[in-house]
């Protein structure tokens, strides 16, 4: 004959979630072992905060990021929601918040730059947000936002550390760190190119950035130059018609590219990337693969 013993010794222990629900939500019930369950909660919160602090985005943020941007909690959540589909609604909420908190405008410029670098896929969306804020904010706030944005992009572009993983001998960990820096640098250049498309940066300055990158001749700089040309190359060609200075800058850029590719001064991968830019320009900056897939099958 089998009996069900309801004594505490043989009772099945409560699951963690159920125990927390019963003993932490104001319930008057008590159960042996509840103190142990409650003691786990601070540990869980501590572990969660540790995981957040070691997330990829928080690792890549500068040291001053966590201390200075503490007052932008609502804006951070809005940046996480921002996408091309809900751009109009979310960007308007960000604009309203910054209009009411003008002291947070410069910090918002840092925040949007960091998001654009960490999420390169939405770089164009963040650049469009910058353009909208410059148009809709007050004159003083817009000037502060533009100034801070320019200083930050210039400082990041002129970073002294070489993000090239092939320079010198590295162990696996150092090589991985170099690859991350290289990806961030390419994402930054894509963001700068998108800002120039929105008219925030002059095309002449973008051309000077490309020329300086090509003169370095290392793979990281060449890849960043390709990112700038792929995004803003068409606008550079259009600016040639209105500015003689722009004409000389653009001609210098493609003369350096021809020299690198013809003399094979870099790796095969970078040579093909540069040749792809030249071919893209020859096609009038139209992609090689048509948008209509059935055309490829024909």
End-to-end CA distance of the chain: 78
Query: Are 165 and 175 spatial neighbours (Cβ–Cβ below 8 Å)?
Result: yes
Please determine, for residue 125, whether its predicted confidence score (pLDDT) is greater than 50: yes
Q: What is the pLDDT of residue 176?
A: 86
- 61: CB partners within 8 A, 6+ apart: 114
How much is the average pLDDT of 187-209? Answer: 92
Domain boundary assignment for the chain: 16-44, 64-157, 202-284
* Interatomic CA distance for residues 202 and 196, integer angstroms: 6
Burial class (CB in 10 A: 0-12, 13-18, 19+), 119: middle
Q: Which residues contact 257 (CB under 8 A, 6 or more apart)?
A: 214, 274, 277, 278
- The better pLDDT of the pair 29, 118 is held by 118
**Would you say residue 295 has pLDDT above 70?**
no
pTM for the full predicted model: 0.71
**pLDDT at residue 27, rounded to an integer:** 40
| pLDDT of 48 over the 60 cut | no
User: What is the Cα–Cα distance from 293 to 296, expressed in whole angstroms?
Assistant: 5
Q: Looking at the predicted structure, is the pLDDT value of residue 152 above 70? A: yes
């Amino acid at each position: 004959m089998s009996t069900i013993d309801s004594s505490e010794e043989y009772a099945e222990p409560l699951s963690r979630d159920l125990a927390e629900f019963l003993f932490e939500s104001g319930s008057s019930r008590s159960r042996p072992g509840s103190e142990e369950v409650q003691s786990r909660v601070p540990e869980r919160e501590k572990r969660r905060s540790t995981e957040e602090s070691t997330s990829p985005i928080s690792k890549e943020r500068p040291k001053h990021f966590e201390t200075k941007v503490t007052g932008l909690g609502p804006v951070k959540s809005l940046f996480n929601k921002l996408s091309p589909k809900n751009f109009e609604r979310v960007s308007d909420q960000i604009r309203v918040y910054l209009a009411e908190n003008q002291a947070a405008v410069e910090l918002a410029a840092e925040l949007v730059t960091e998001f654009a670098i960490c999420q390169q896929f939405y770089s164009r969306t963040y650049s469009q947000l910058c353009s909208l804020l410059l148009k809709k904010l007050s004159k003083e706030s817009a000037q502060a936002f533009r100034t801070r944005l320019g200083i930050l992009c210039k400082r990041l572009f002129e970073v002294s550390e070489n993000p090239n993983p092939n320079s010198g001998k590295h162990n696996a960990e150092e090589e991985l760190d170099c690859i991350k820096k290289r990806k961030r640098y390419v994402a930054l250049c894509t963001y700068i190119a998108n800002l120039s498309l929105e008219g925030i940066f002059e095309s002449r300055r973008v051309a000077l950035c490309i020329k300086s990158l090509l003169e370095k001749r290392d793979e990281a700089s060449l890849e960043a130059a390709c990112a700038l040309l792929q995004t803003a190359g068409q606008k550079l060609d259009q600016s040639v018609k209105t500015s003689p200075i722009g004409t000389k800058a653009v001609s210098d850029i493609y003369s350096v590219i021809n020299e690198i590719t013809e003399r094979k001064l870099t790796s095969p991968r970078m040579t093909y990337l540069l040749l792809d830019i030249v071919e893209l320009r020859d096609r009038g900056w139209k992609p090689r693969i048509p948008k209509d897939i059935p055309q490829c099958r024909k």
